[in-house]
Amino acid sequence: MDDNQITYPFVIGHRGAAGYAPENTLASLELAYKLGVRFIEVDVMLTADNHAIIFHDHTLDRTTSLKGKVSHHNWSQLQGQDSGSWFHLDYANQGILHLKDLINFANEHPDLILNIELKPRLSNSIKTTSLAIQQLKKDVQNPERLILSSFDVLALKTAQMLWPKCYRALNLETRYPGWSTIAKNLKCKAIHIDQQQITSGFIQRCHRMNMAVRCFTVNDPSRARQLKAMQVDGLFTDKPADLFSHIF
Ligand code: G3P
Ligand code: MG
């Protein structure tokens, strides 16, 4: 797996195009792609019966017609549930995606770079990562265009052991002590960090470590321009069309 050939686009569709369509749904992925986004981030977690699904919150309440914890539901209870009308009634037909659906989408769009953010719940980092990797290794046609990222260090450690060649990125909400040693030991190629944490010094430090810096979540075009001028390598955005039209 050689990613030296790959140019990573600056604009990254956050949960697809979460500002324009319900996050982490097929509609959101399709819209992002249609808008010209070629680098998309989604979140992955496990159901009670160990299906990897594309979902952000650990509870169903905000974005589906169901309530309660994702981890208390089997895939058969989640499959086909309305995951779109919370956003707009036009999207009532959008269901929760299985990791297999996401892989199919990626295989149908071979020019896409896919960032899978592993979101294990407490104490299932190893299981979440190994089951996701098992499926990804089996079915993804362009693994060199895949990035596995996580806030969860054990998830990334598991990814490093099970799939050392797959691109890893460490997610940071804050620049906690020891982050750089962790990223180095995990052989991460990038840091994905909250935009409020960014300084020029931090960017330079990551670049000296040969790590790219990408920031989440940037929807304001003037802030995007500012971060671009600071040499950030990528921006996760809910509103890719707004950034395309204002910064390029
Ligand atoms: O992976 C970047 C970003 O998605 C991390 O935060 O909470 O939006 O998943 P969150
Ligand atoms: Mg995410």
How far does CA 49 lie from the centroid of its chain? 22
Please name the residues in contact with 245: beta carbons below 8 A apart, sequence gap of 6 or more: 221
Query: Is the ipTM of this structure higher than 0.95?
Result: yes
220 part of a folded domain: no
**Relative to the alpha carbon of 172, which ligand is closest?**
1
Please name the residues in contact with 134: beta carbons below 8 A apart, sequence gap of 6 or more: none
HSE (side-chain half, CA atoms, 13 Å) at 238: 10
Residue 154 lies in domain:
11-181
75 part of a folded domain: yes
What are the tens digits of pLDDT across the range 201-229? 999 999 999 999 999 999 999 999 999 99
Are the C-beta atoms of residues 146 and 130 closer than 8 Å to each other? Answer: no
Are the C-beta atoms of residues 137 and 143 closer than 8 Å to each other? Answer: yes
177 part of a folded domain: yes
44 part of a folded domain: yes
Q: Which residues line ligand 1 (CB under 6 A)?
A: 14, 41, 43, 56, 117, 149, 171, 192, 216-217, 236
Residue nearest to atom 3 of ligand 1 (CA): 216
Residue 246: its pLDDT value, please?
A: 85
Is pLDDT at 2 greater than 70 in this prediction?
A: no
Are the C-beta atoms of residues 159 and 133 closer than 8 Å to each other? Answer: yes
Are the C-beta atoms of residues 214 and 234 closer than 8 Å to each other? Answer: yes
Our CA angle for 24, 30, 32, nearest 5°, is 80
What are the tens digits of pLDDT across the range 155-189? 999 999 999 999 999 999 999 999 999 999 999 99
CA distance 53 to 189: 25
Tell me, what CATH number does 121's domain have? 3.20.20.190
Cα-to-centroid distance, 216 and ligand 1 (Å): 7
As for how many domains the chain has, the answer is 1
